[in-house]
Structure 1
Amino acid sequence: MLDILERVDPHSDRIDLLIELVDCLRPRRHQRGHAHAAVRTLTQLLRGNPAQAWALRSYLVTLLEKRRHTSLYSDIGILSNDGFFTELKRRVAWRLLPPALDDLYLSDALDQVLFAEEDHQWIRSVPDADWLALFDVVAGAPPPVDAAPDRARLVTTMGMLDAIRTLSCRVCALGLEPRLVHSYSEIEDFDSPFLMQNIEVNHYLDEYGRFLEGSIARPDDPRHLLVMLDQCENVVAKIRRNSLSFGTSVALTYVLVAITQSIGRLRKLLFLVDSSEGAEEQPAALPAAPEDQTGRRVSDSRALATVPPHAGAPPAPSARRAAALELAQELIEAHNTKYQVRGLVRDTIQLLARNVTENASRTGEHYIAESRAQLRGMFKAAAGAGFIVGFMAMFKILLSYLRAAPLVEAFLFSMNYSLGFMLVHMLRWTIATKQPAMTAQRIAAGLHSPDGRSIDFDSMAALVNKVFRTQIVAVLGNVIVAFPTALVIAIAYQQLMGHHLVTPDKALHLLHDIDPIHSPALFYAAIAGVWLFVAGLISGYYDNKALYTRMGQRVRQLRWLGTLLGVARRDRLSRYVENNLGGLMGNFFFGILLGTTGTVGYLLGLPLDIRHVTFSTANFATALVALDYRMSWQMAANAAAGVALIGAVNLLVSFNLALWVALRARNIRFTRSVMLLRALGRRFLHAPLDFFIGPRDADAIDVPFSSRGNK
């Protein structure tokens, strides 16, 4: 390190020595404390040799003067205007082959100095006080007698001012995007804050330029500009709230994230360049921790760097130094991760997932029975679905006799599943295993507090209890009706055709398929649980799409449909499509997933298949008839246990996956499950019967289940 300091040329703009110096600070593997010790050592060396400190300062100033700063402040860590998929494609390409570097730009110089993706980690691991001490030694180094005036602050300030102008133009352009105006049409009724903030920025920068020229003593504070930025953020917040009712899209979500990031960077730069009267004289009160673009609270240590002071409370010098250091660390981290695909997908999809799961949450309310009357309604709806599944199981067996080509057979199986599930949905009946993916979203919506401290565990336990008993009743409705339906179908087939629906060998194969011990039935049940979870997301996605694209209104605008069906029927169809598109598409794709899994496994030579509790029940009944009821009690018990375990795995896998995604979409980390279990235990001990069959109808809001809708 000392050798490098002795070789520093204060008038050179070559970056080689800076790369070597940073490499001395960079820790090697298994040397966690190396960076901390190295920074302190460098500080002591420079403090003991002021001439070397000045040479290093002059060298760094030369590097800054020879390079353009704007792109570093305006581009790094902020999404581009190209859209999600273009940015995704660019990051994938850059991940494989990074772009060429140009010594003309400071951002490219940063790429040469801090080239390792983990550099931001060790930089943040060094205490802020040590970094500030190092900067103070370099900045406070006494210059030689013949030294030229130092331009470091002016060069940095000019770069920030150019970045402020660039960011303001970007916010203005994004704020006038048609998709954003479409989602918040009220913005056309008054002057757009996105346009007005650009006017304020230009006025502020013009005045700041006169200040730098010496024409005025000080520029005005950016009070009006900050008000405009507040209004821009209010519009973004309103659009996000409206998206819960009117849907959203990847493109709109991308625009909202880009605007939020740009405004946040604008605030930080304005905070650092503010030279208004009192900006360096009055102490700043620590503002409340703000929210980032995903709704999370940032730590108090970052609040100064995130929220600039309002007029009347300008920043103290220490606050400005802390903000500058925080911005530098943020830029380094964003630079190190700028080629990562995971971060882009996470930040963009998180807001989209929140809206998709919110739609699923509202759907989940229809799958929760409040009283015994509603439980009876749920049982009837599940029984109707069990009746349909009995016929679907028969059709699948008959389709297998065609001995079609694998892909043709997969198509036939998929259509059998899809059309059957869609029929169940249109008859307002319910498949029990479809519920967890919806009810999990409803439970997640009930966890209001990110830290879990303000949750009403008694109310939460009541909701979980309702979900539990509703799910049990639904499964019983499916199974209790599917078994006799399949049994009657198998008997009727034998009477009409003169032979059984399946041969004894096929019957034994059906029983082996649901054997929980000697076959991978439970693993296949877990695969079906994953597809149930995916179907729930698909339902939420299309519910969101129906709202965002105004599907009902578009159907009502079809004149030929009005001529064909009549205006009244067309209007009813439009309302049905808008309210049920998610359910229909979720069931359709769920059927395709079930129908193709086995074929894909066969083609790839992988052990892939599905087991569904209701179909397993129907196959059990079909096998019982085919064996002429000659079945030992051990075989019957094994089959019954297999059906029960398959159902449990179906429900648990789909529920846990849906709950995990819903919690992640809401940034909830729920770690107090013991409190919830205790509350459930109290409810069970207080009223064991009500725990399983619900309260009496007089003790609950008696709304007939069918009147609530069953999406």
Structure 2
Amino acid sequence: MEQLLREMQNSKTDQDSLTMLTQLVAALRPAKPEDHVTAVNNARALCYLLEQHSEYRDSLRNAFFSLLDNTRQVNLYTETGILLNESFMTAVKRRIGAKILPPTVNAEHFSDLLGVIFHKRSDYLWLEAIPHEVWYEIGQALHMDEVPSDKVPPHIRLQQLEAIQVLSCRISAIGLEPEVIRNHPDVERFESPFVRLNAEVLNYIEKYRHDLTARQTPDEDHSHLLVLLEQCEGIMAKVWKYASKNGASVSLTYHLLRLKQHIDRMKLLFELVDPTAPQGEPLIALFLSLVKAENRKNSVGDVFRENTELLALQITEHASHTGEHYTSESRREWLDMFRSAAGAGVIVGFMALIKIKLATAHLPLLLEAFAFSMNYALGFMLVHILHCTIATKQPAMTAASIAAALPAPGSKNLESYSKLIELIVKVIRTQFIAIMGNVLLAMPVALGIAWLWWDRLGEHVVSPEKADILLRDLQPIAGLGLPHAAIAGVCLFLAGLISGYYDNKALYNKIPERIAALPLLNKVIGEYRSKRLGQYIEHNLGALAGNFYFGCMLGSIGTIGILLGLPLDIRHITFSAANLSYAFAGNDFNLPLLALGWAAVGVALIGATNLITSFVLALSVALRSRKRRLRELKPVIGLLWKRFWQKPIDFIIAPKLQAEKSDE
């Protein structure tokens, strides 16, 4: 490192400066990006060398200023780390293309040179691991106060001012997008801060440039510009609040995300151009964000995350509202859930029979997949229409409610988790009674159907060979019961997202109002019934769509597995329970007790896998959409265990409320 600093004194060209800075970063870079101790030690070693040798810090400052003075930085401030005005697919294709055929380095743009200096894709990891106090030590060791003001290239400040002007124009343009105006009509009025911002920024920049040209210290006050930016953020909050009630589109969420990024970057630049403001913190924040953005500029995964995070929040919010109906507060609600689940168990008993008979028809593959899908889809939709409940649909809905109940980030007070603990207890007991309702009715109904079939037709519903296949499918490992149950869990998770998406779509596109106002429908069934139909669609479109697509996924996965030559299939606890009854009947209502016991264990494990898979996936998405992490649930484990030992019966049976006791 010292040798590089010594050689840097002989740098005469920008290329020499670039080479020396690249080698210096290579010397600071630890062998492994997760080796944070080495990163900090290397940074402190650089501080020591700069503090001890004035010629070293002079050469490092000169090399850095030389690159800044001879390059353009506007695109660095206005594009790096900020979403471009491009469609989702265009962004994906552009990044994939850059991975396959990287673009050439433009020596006139500092953003390209930054990518050369920090060329390792993991550089941002060890840079972020260096504490801010160490960065302050590096800044102090450079002794920027030793640099005369006339030696600092004015080009750097002019580039920052130009970047502020570009950001201002883009903020005004995004704020006046039709999608934004639709959700907040007052935006297009002349008093809108988006309209006023651009004019005020132009006046500010003109005065600032005049002071720089006259070699005067700029003293322009930008506080009124910060007020305008805060007003813009206030409008953003109102737009999102309106969208939370009336639905959001991908386009709207993309505009809001870009708007937030532009405003945040503009605030940061205002701090940098203010000669009276401390430069340390904003400079560190800008540097780290720029390096991270440069390292990850070709990441396709980031495009998916950035474009879907806000919309995922909206979708999971709708799922959260639905999930509130899957938690039982009182004994009465708990019993209502059992009755609702029992109704679904009865329907599934017949659906399982139809599935078995369709399989024995040996239809062509595509027709068979269609028939299976329609059996599942229409059956699940019937379950919803009759106000019944499929227990395995609960985790995808309740996960969003649990994520919403998390205490504020950084909360150390365990008491703040009490609300969350009680919610989880309610979810567990409601899930338990729903499973019981499904299984305890699906099995006897299927057994009753099988007995009637044998009594009336003189033959069993399934042959002994088919019964053996059904029993083998329940085996967790040999019959691939657990992997196939996990696939069903993924389908359950996707169905939850689809439900939230269609709920959001119904609100955003005003589908209920449009149905109620449809002239032909009003003529056929009348205005009152049209309005009632619209209201029903508003509250049930998501659930119906989720059930339909869930049925299609369950019905077609086995066929997809055959076409691909892969052992793909699904196992669902309620259908597995019904199949166990049909297999029992196929063996002439006589199975060894041990075989029956192992089959029951298989059904239980399939159910656990269904629930755990869908719940973990749904919870991770709900947490990520709120910028939270799974590790924040760590305190919940101990508190939940403590709550279990205090009153374990609450995890199974809902308590009677005072009103219920008085009714008795």
Q: Work out whether the TM-score is over 0.5.
A: yes
* Deviates most, 574-583 or 9-18: 9-18
| Cα distance, 1:544–1:681 mapped onto 2, change above 3 Å | farther
Counterpart Cα distance in 2 of 1:135 and 1:92: 40
Alignment-derived partner of residue 90 in structure 2: 86
| 1:261-660 → structure 2 map (5 Å cutoff) | 261-275=261-275, 279=276, 315=277, 319-454=278-413, 455-516=415-476, 518-660=478-620
Q: Which runs of 5+ in 2 are unaligned?
A: none
Counterpart of 1:18 (choices 17, 20, 41) is 20
* Deviates most, 61-70 or 610-619: 61-70
* Deviates most, 478-487 or 358-367: 478-487
The amino acid of 2:444's aligned partner reads: P
Say which SS state the counterpart of residue 279 (structure 2) adopts. helix
Q: CA deviation at 1:670?
A: 1.9
Counterpart Cα distance in 2 of 1:519 and 1:220: 75
Residue deviations 1:157-194 (CA, integer Å, cap 9, x gap)? 00100000001111111111111122223434662211
Residue deviations 1:472-509 (CA, integer Å, cap 9, x gap)? 22222212222222223223333444422211111122
| 1:135-146 → structure 2 map (5 Å cutoff) | 135-136=142-143, 140=146
Counterpart Cα distance in 2 of 1:514 and 1:21: 61
Residue deviations 1:353-394 (CA, integer Å, cap 9, x gap)? 222111111101112222222223222211221121111111
| Cα distance, 1:401–1:38 mapped onto 2, change above 3 Å | closer
Say which SS state the counterpart of residue 83 (structure 2) adopts. coil
Counterpart Cα distance in 1 of 2:656 and 2:140: 71
Q: Is the 8 A contact 2:421 2:639 kept in 1?
A: no
* Deviates most, 239-248 or 7-16: 7-16
Residue deviations 1:99-132 (CA, integer Å, cap 9, x gap)? 2222222212222322222233444455213421
Counterpart Cα distance in 1 of 2:234 and 2:198: 16
| Cα distance, 1:133–1:631 mapped onto 2, change above 3 Å | same
| Cα distance, 1:81–1:524 mapped onto 2, change above 3 Å | same
Q: CA deviation at 1:450?
A: 2.5
Q: CA deviation at 1:203?
A: 1.3
Q: CA deviation at 1:38?
A: 5.8
Q: Is the 8 A contact 1:371 1:702 kept in 2?
A: no
| Cα distance, 1:632–1:11 mapped onto 2, change above 3 Å | closer
Say which SS state the counterpart of residue 14 (structure 1) adopts. helix
Counterpart of 1:95 (choices 99, 123, 135) is 99
* Deviates most, 25-34 or 91-100: 25-34
Alignment-derived partner of residue 164 in structure 1: 164
Q: Is the 8 A contact 2:511 2:538 kept in 1?
A: yes
Alignment-derived partner of residue 285 in structure 1: none
Residue deviations 1:428-462 (CA, integer Å, cap 9, x gap)? 11111111211222222222322353454444333
| Cα distance, 1:380–1:674 mapped onto 2, change above 3 Å | same
Q: Which runs of 5+ in 1 are unaligned?
A: 143-148, 280-314, 704-711
The amino acid of 2:299's aligned partner reads: Q
Counterpart Cα distance in 1 of 2:363 and 2:325: 40
Q: CA deviation at 1:150?
A: 4.8
Counterpart Cα distance in 1 of 2:72 and 2:421: 59
Counterpart Cα distance in 2 of 1:45 and 1:110: 23
The amino acid of 1:373's aligned partner reads: R
Q: Is the 8 A contact 2:485 2:571 kept in 1?
A: yes
TM-score of the superposed pair, with normalisation by structure 1: 0.85
Counterpart Cα distance in 2 of 1:576 and 1:693: 32
Residue deviations 1:125-162 (CA, integer Å, cap 9, x gap)? 5521342144327x7369xxxxxx95534111001000
* Deviates most, 369-378 or 355-364: 369-378
The amino acid of 2:122's aligned partner reads: E
The amino acid of 1:65's aligned partner reads: D
Q: CA deviation at 1:411?
A: 1.7
Counterpart Cα distance in 2 of 1:215 and 1:36: 39
Superposition RMSD in Å: 2.9
Q: CA deviation at 1:236?
A: 1.5
- Mapped pair 1:222 → 2:222: yes
Q: CA deviation at 1:3?
A: 6.6
Counterpart Cα distance in 2 of 1:434 and 1:44: 61
Say which SS state the counterpart of residue 143 (structure 2) adopts. helix
| Cα distance, 1:604–1:162 mapped onto 2, change above 3 Å | same
The amino acid of 2:536's aligned partner reads: Y
Q: Is the 8 A contact 1:371 1:697 kept in 2?
A: yes
Counterpart Cα distance in 2 of 1:264 and 1:625: 67
Counterpart of 1:129 (choices 107, 129, 136) is 136
The amino acid of 1:165's aligned partner reads: Q
Counterpart of 1:108 (choices 108, 112, 125) is 112
Q: Is the 8 A contact 2:8 2:20 kept in 1?
A: no
The amino acid of 1:424's aligned partner reads: V
Identity %: 41
| Cα distance, 1:378–1:35 mapped onto 2, change above 3 Å | closer
Alignment-derived partner of residue 252 in structure 2: 252
Q: CA deviation at 1:697?
A: 5.3
The amino acid of 2:634's aligned partner reads: T
Q: Is the 8 A contact 1:357 1:540 kept in 2?
A: yes
Alignment-derived partner of residue 64 in structure 1: 68
Counterpart Cα distance in 2 of 1:32 and 1:659: 30
* Deviates most, 618-627 or 16-25: 16-25
| Cα distance, 1:640–1:193 mapped onto 2, change above 3 Å | same
Q: CA deviation at 1:77?
A: 1.1
* Deviates most, 163-172 or 621-630: 621-630
* Deviates most, 344-353 or 362-371: 344-353
Q: Is the 8 A contact 1:19 1:112 kept in 2?
A: no
Counterpart Cα distance in 1 of 2:82 and 2:346: 55
Residue deviations 1:56-108 (CA, integer Å, cap 9, x gap)? 54454443332212111111111112243322322222222222222222212
Q: Is the 8 A contact 1:515 1:639 kept in 2?
A: yes
Q: CA deviation at 1:351?
A: 2.1
Say which SS state the counterpart of residue 323 (structure 1) adopts. helix
Q: Is the 8 A contact 1:372 1:696 kept in 2?
A: yes
Q: Is the 8 A contact 2:352 2:579 kept in 1?
A: yes
Q: CA deviation at 1:396?
A: 0.8
Say which SS state the counterpart of residue 81 (structure 1) adopts. coil
The amino acid of 1:157's aligned partner reads: R
Q: CA deviation at 1:401?
A: 1.9
Counterpart Cα distance in 2 of 1:462 and 1:43: 52
Aligned pairs, number: 651
Counterpart of 2:80 (choices 76, 82, 96) is 76
